[in-house]
Structure 1
Amino acid sequence: MTAVTVAAEWQLLYNRYYRKPEIYSMKWKHIDLSRNKVACAPFGGPIAIIRDDSKIVQLYAESALRKLRIFNSAGVQIAETVWRNPGGRLIGMSWIDDQTLVCIVQDGTIYRYNLNAELVEPNISLGRDCFEHSVVECLFWGNGVVCINENFQLFCVSDFKNLTPNGGVIKLADPILEELPLCMTVIEPQYTMSGNVEVLLAVGKHVLLVEEDGVQQVGVGVGPLQKMVVSRNGKLLASFTHDGRLLVISTDFSQIIFEYSCESALPPEQLAWCGMDSVLLYWDDVLLMVGPYGDPVRYFYDEQIIIISECDGVRILSNTTMEFLQRVPDSTVSIYKIGSTTAAALLYDALDHFDRCSAKADENLRMIHSSLPEAIEACIDAAGYEFDVSRQRTLLRAASYGQAFCSNVPRDRFQEMCKTLRVLNAVRSPDIGIPLSIQQYKVLTAPVLISRLINANHHLLALRLSEYLGLNQELVVMHWSCSKINASLSIPDSALLDILLDKLKLCKSISYAAVAEHSNKIGRRKLAAMLVEHEPRSSKQVPLLLSIGEEDVALTKATESGDTDLVYMVLFHIWQKRTSLELFGMIQAKPLARDLFIAYARCYKHEFLKHFFLSTGQLQEVAFLLWKESWEFSKNPMASKGTPVHGPRIKAIEKARDLFAETKEHNFESKAADEHAKLLRMQQELEVSTKQAIFVDSSISDTIRTCIVLGNHRAAIKVKTEFKVSEKRWYWLKVFALATTRDWDALDKFSKEKRPPIGYKPFVEACIDADEKSEALKYIPRLADPRERAEAYARIGMAKEAADAASQAKDSELLGRLKLSFSQNAAASSIFDTFRDKLGVS
């Protein structure tokens, strides 16, 4: 295609060229935009159409039921649904950033639809004020909307993504109006100093700026204004006055940038920015493009059009076509402008001569040799802005031709553009219907584009593009799997599982559990169980198994993983859902689960653990628990009250005794428990009779000693007899108990009852410990062993008697030791030396 042919399609606005190529011939039929409310999403997004109930229209062969229909940008229908929403007239609808369609009706109810025309729950209300005083107008931006009701109150939803049934709706300051404003527009939060939305209301000859916290009057004298629209960067305001003037003003109303007098004072149906260089005004037959300088450009239409603002121009939708009006890029102008002699134009011309085998090609290359890198870059850049594939190919061929004669051009730039154009051409196909420009693609980003393809159920293309661009394919495969399950209700679970696994295996890290969870949500529990078997991560597998009621499998998987947290999670879930016997049966054959259950229950659930041990025949374990509980009773004084026979501690110990007796291996424990119960009973009886709480939980020896100290010798003998205390032990206990009470007469009498089986040494020690030397002298002579007598005499300070006893034992070593104990007493030391000399020891 020659440069003259290309440039002939352009229109000149002062010194800037604009073009308006046709992107699509619309695929729909019998669509009249003038009869419908229309919402078009930016970035080549979908189109929503519903019959306008505010207009009286003739119904042809269509149903009287209103239908909400959703098309792609090429007019291919994606979905439709019957409009059944109550609440009065539809006031406005728009697509938000995630391509959810937001519809606001008269009573302030907000309905949301996805790309498949399915209602997204829950519905939202703007509140009581809007219900009682109907919404009359709404203005959308990005993810938000501002509404005004019949009471002239303003309400704002700043972010639909974070909207909740009871929150997210903000009432702005009351502008105190007596009638509806002539027009309104918003400055988006990202462009305001406060970070909140600002609403501009045209009232009389001025403008009111309304925020959440207040209202201020701006632009005094600029009105009355019939239409207003803020530029994409939030800095400029385009407005149409009552006397037919177009004013472009800074949004702070500090200066008028430019002014243009239109031929008609009738306000335009639509007012929009085309980039940042021009403003579009549309009446029912003409589209007027006005720039700051030069004469305007007029485009004539014989049918209704919709202007869709984009970041780099506008799309123009009519009944039959979709066009894209944009400023011609500088690189394209440098190549195709008539009479252009730039290096890029000469390189493009050189390719044409090369194709025709003309020597002029070489002449052109020689002329631009020093500027060849810039020419190549311009051709690559211009190719990116083209929608026509043949022009893209020609421009890229020109760049490739130039690269053959230039060594210092980055090769990756050419490759990146080829990759980008392949992606753009794929999504621009009428079947896909996303006519993105390269600038829109850069702003949108590839991951978001993939997400939009997924939501539109173009999974195959999304998968191929993800692979081509090196993006994660998992999201695509996951969404496809869930969509396939939704659409395959008639396919048997086993057959559908094979289909899903064939695609899911494309991604190594895919979450089978997430797909299984979706399957479970729509009621296909068997399919979910089969899918979750393929999930390698137990942390994701086990919770889903529990949610679908597969507790047995979940417990097996958790124990196999060795993750104690997972095992406990399953145990607690089963504990709540199943009976005790079912739980016991499930964990009995799984050692890890059983041990963890026992460890937990041993600390917090004794009764439950006893039931478990009883059900599994582990009677001795129950007995040990009872015995442990008996000690717990002792920590609570109130729990230990009662008669000796019926005290809760004794009952627990007796139960333990009986259970121990069931097995031969625990005879010792059984006897010990029996004696413990007897002892406790006797100790409680003693506490009752003595009215002193000093017996319970003391040992047998301590009990006997305490009885003797208290003078209750009969009780002491009874304890001795009951527990078969040996004579030696009895003597030891009684001797020291009598010494404790300093009953020396009783001690002396006790020593004479019969020859003590423990000898007289304990008597001596008891007296010495009580610091009663005179009493000790009663028993020292009775000591049979002279060595014991010597040491006893030494302990009470009788050196001569000690030395005499040691000499009788003929133990010189003992004499040496005793001498050391009297080292402070010279006379005593000499006595020991005398006896040692008699023994002939030096």
Structure 2
Amino acid sequence: MASPHSLRILKEIEKLRNLAADTNPSSTKFILDTTPVENPGSNIILGRILPKSQPYNQVAFQIEMKLPIEYPFKPPEVRFITPIYHPNVSEDGKICVEILNSGESFKPTTTLVDIVKAVVERVDNPSVEHALQAEIGAEYSQNRTAFDRKALEMVKKHDEVFNVFDLLSSTPGAKLYSAYMDYKYENQMSEMLLNQLKSSRSTNGLEEAVKECISAASNEHDPSIQKILLKAALFGRAFLCVNLNNPKNSIRPTVSLINDLCTNVIRDLRLINNLQHINISMPITYKQFELIGSRILIDRLLRRNLHEFATSVTKLLRMPPEEGENRILVQWAVQELVNPSNTNEEAIADTIKTRLSGIPGIPFIDIIEEAFKLKKYTVVRRLLDVKISLSAQIDILLKLNDKEEALQKALSCGDTDLALFVLMRIKASEPLSDYMLRLQRLKSLPLKLHLQTTSDQKVELTSASKLFRKAKNETVAQLVDDEARLIAKQDELEKKLYNVQLKGLSLVDTLEILLINFEKDADTLRKDFNVNDKRYWWIKIQAYAKKNAWTQLLEFGKKPTSPIGYEPFVDVCIRSQKLDEARRFADRSIYSSKLDDERLPFIFAKVQMVDEAINSAIKLKSIEALNFIEAKCHLSEVNLTKIRQSRDKIQDYDDNPLKNVFKIFNRGNRADE
């Protein structure tokens, strides 16, 4: 800036800056934010005016002055950045002031200070004759009470920002902002203000100042102002662990919380500002984002078919795959199914399989069910061989009326309950004679017939047993006899215990109900039917969880040996949303000798014991465990960095061709010891 034109602007900017230092209560107040000096090449001056009239005197309004090339022979364009309810300000922020009219009131000698004063004067004294919004002008002149109420509501929306920028404000946030601006312009007042915040009688004055600046940034819509407020917050955060008078003093315990707050707000504001881009066009505020949450935001993006952008959002927010990226991929697959231009069902199925089969955690059953609703049966059949649960496969096969394949899959897995489910569905869909013939054709059948009345049970079980023995299928005949014996035992228990309904239940369900209230009878029934230890322990811990018998579960877990290990105890507590109870099973003083060392990181991660999980995973050099911790736990930036660094070191070690030599030396050293 060497030209007279540039020198004129420099002098004007210095005069604007002096307005903030003027202590006269009657003088015009103006806070300078950004100028062409800080942004070479820019012709925009941003600052905040502080009106004097009610209700506008409760907030600082940011205005933008855009200097034309012809300035000072042509007036600048003035626009309100902060929304204001005023008859002389248009919806896009332009204000009607006579001094800005080129050729009339504006002259080359008119300064920027004169313009600021004229704008403040017009805000304090609206002119109905020059109203840019006729409805607001009519309301101002005819219904002043309603006008004042609406204007006040608009002002209150920016109250938190005002508390920081108000020159007369004594809040910690205002002091921190002033300290940052003084530091920016190399003013020694910065250190004095920081010392005031450090020695504040209020609890943790500097911490409150950082929080207020962060809160103000989250309530501000202009990204440039957000940036200034966040810079002030980060400036204050840097001094949280430093006592300016005694640098060796202890670190405040909440620094990590402030760090997380800063990181999260910066991340969320970055997302919100990107949502306002013309290609997305989804303007929401920070508070609206907090209310709707990330899941609803992703749903809105998916409804607009913005799959790629939605994927970027899930990565930015570090959403779990099942809530983020995997859900987006499922939605993409559904779009492929409903796309009218896709008529080749085999090609659709192959495209989906090629794109998604290698990605862990994709719920293919959701895609299959959607394809079934759309009557794309070829797609359904071709996707059934992808990894989905057996029960889900069988359910789809039954819907397709492929009874034979559904029954064979149920029988091959050895799950009698699942086989019963299939048989019940088949029995309900075909005549009884066809059903009995189907049973006779089967060589091996783990059978459990579901009947309605006690008399029918005895007759049909006896008949079925004879049919199977006649067909020389002794194994199935024995299973039928066992079922008859279970029904007889259920009758006996119902008469003994009263108000207990056991008929029609499987052996597992019967044992579970008895364990809840009649544990001795459950133990007797278990012995009668030779239920093995592994299966009985599973039933028992689930029964304890259902009746909220957590003390009994803890005592049960203290037994010397467990045929199912001790991780299922943790899992059943977590399923019941009893995290504190689950953590007790990770108590090293009680269960450490019983827990499987290789599963320790996974157990600690499930109960959100993050530090213990990370340390045990590093000790085991398990990349799988570190990945599990990252997916399941709520991690701070410090822990996330630790996991990534450890994972890289382990990977480097695994890639080292000399690692086996190191192992031999380590074994030799242990032998010498």
Same fold per TM (> 0.5)?
no
Instruction: Give the TM-score normalised by the residue count of structure 1.
Output: 0.34
More helix as a share of residues: 2
More strand as a share of residues: 1
Identify the structure with bigger relative contact order (alpha carbons < 8 Å, sequence gap 6+): 1
Instruction: Give the TM-score normalised by the residue count of structure 2.
Output: 0.41
